[in-house]
Amino acid sequence: MILPESNPEAMVPLPAQSDRPSSSGGGSTAPQPSHPSADSDSEAVASSNHRRSSRLPVVVIEPQRGWHLFNWRELLNYRDLLYFLVLRDVTVLYKQTILGLAWAILNPFLNMVVFTVIFGMLLKVPSDGKPYALFSFAALLPWTYFSQSLTSSTNSLIQGVNLFTKVYFPRVLMPLVAVFSKLLDFSIALLFLVAMLIYYRVMPSWNVVYLPLLIILMMLTSAGVGMGLSALAIQYRDIRHAMQFVVQILMYAAPVVWPVSKLPDELRLWYGLYPLAGVIEGFRCAILSTGPMPWDLIGMGSITAIISFLAGALYFRRTERFFADVA
């Protein structure tokens, strides 16, 4: 048998596998050559990661104990979230509706028709020399805003459980969303009131410049009472069911269907402790020119509104840390 002649130039010796341990265990292993460039790269990466982690801010969220008002800087940082929550509230309310924003007018308009027929035509309730339709609608304008924002604020934490139990944000934004979102309905109804003034040919007085003050007082009252009731409603669900007849009692206690001039003089100042009394009567005086501005009612109502706002905010902050546990 003749073997082919081997070519000595084609025979290349295989590298010795000194870096692999012998399977039999008898062979010795050669030390690995060191790689100074790889070691320096790993040290540089570790140093870079350390510097990057030292630059990242660390935020520790801890509950506040005691009685505290809001963290205004935190609320300012979350102003975009408040805007989007208000936008979501308005969008969901009128989504897939046929009449859309017209519902903002229908609610006070239908109440005005009922009150005009019952109290204006049948019971002959005085209306300070103005058409009873205008008299009642001017009062229903702030009252509708107050009742709707109060009801929505009370139920805000119950309806937003799936939101505030998963991510952190200032919980007080939940009841405040209703206070701001209902301003859209208020503005639309206000435009309808302007159309009614043109139809009845009633000229507003120069006291209309005080409308922003009355609107702020109206919002302050809604926010204060709404914060307090929302904190109570998340713990005691009876509050949500009681709101239906509480709102009705507050409406007939307010001068919506009757004028403040029917009150005795000795009770007028005490009646001003009801914030909506000064707001409603102020709306009538500013828009319908029914008389001078009721500064006595507005002053007493402002004191009550500020106290209710501070009390509601303090109670909300006091009980805020329990919301996720009792929800």
Structural domain boundaries, residue 212: 72-326
> What are the structure tokens assigned to 129, written together?
């020399």
Residue 14 inside a domain? The answer is no
User: CA 258, 261, 267, 272: dihedral to nearest 10 degrees?
Assistant: 70
- Which residue type sits at 210? Y
Please indicate, yes or no, if residue 225 is contained in any of the structural domains: yes
Question: Is the dihedral angle over the CA atoms 191, 193, 198, 204 positive or is it negative?
Answer: negative
Per-residue pLDDT of the chain (327 residues; tens, 9 = 90+): 444 444 444 444 444 444 444 444 444 444 444 444 445 555 554 555 555 555 656 666 565 565 567 788 888 899 999 999 999 998 888 887 777 788 889 999 999 999 999 999 999 999 999 999 999 999 999 999 999 999 999 999 998 888 888 888 889 999 999 999 999 999 999 999 999 999 999 999 899 999 999 999 999 999 999 999 999 999 888 898 899 889 999 999 999 999 998 899 899 999 999 999 999 999 999 999 998 999 999 999 999 999 999 999 999 988 888 887 776
Q: What's the number of domains the chain is made of?
A: 1
Residue 52 is assigned to a structural domain of this protein: no
Instruction: Please report, for residues 72, 119, 172, 177, 248, the alpha-carbon distance to residue 79 in angstroms, rounded to integers and kept in the order given.
Output: 11, 44, 12, 11, 33
Q: Is residue 7 part of a domain?
A: no
Residue 55 lies in a domain: no
| Dihedral class, residue 21 (left if φ above 0, else alpha if ψ from -120 to 50, else beta) | beta
Domain assignment present for 137 = yes
- Is 301 within the bounds of a domain? yes
Per-residue pLDDT, 2: 42
Tokens standing for residue 280: 């409603």
Beta carbons within 10 angstroms of residue 106's beta carbon: 12
pTM strictly above 0.85? no
- Size of the chain in residues: 327
Closest-CA residue to 277 (of 133, 110, 285, 10)? 285
What pLDDT score was predicted for residue 327?
63
Q: Do residues 223 and 316 lie in contact, with contact meaning Cβ atoms separated by under 8 Å?
A: no
Does some domain include residue 194? Answer: yes
Cα–Cα distance for residue pair 140/133, rounded to 1 Å:
10
> Which three-class secondary structure string do you get for 100-143?
HHHHHHHHHHHHHHHHHHHHHHHCCCCCCCCCHHHHHHHHHHHH
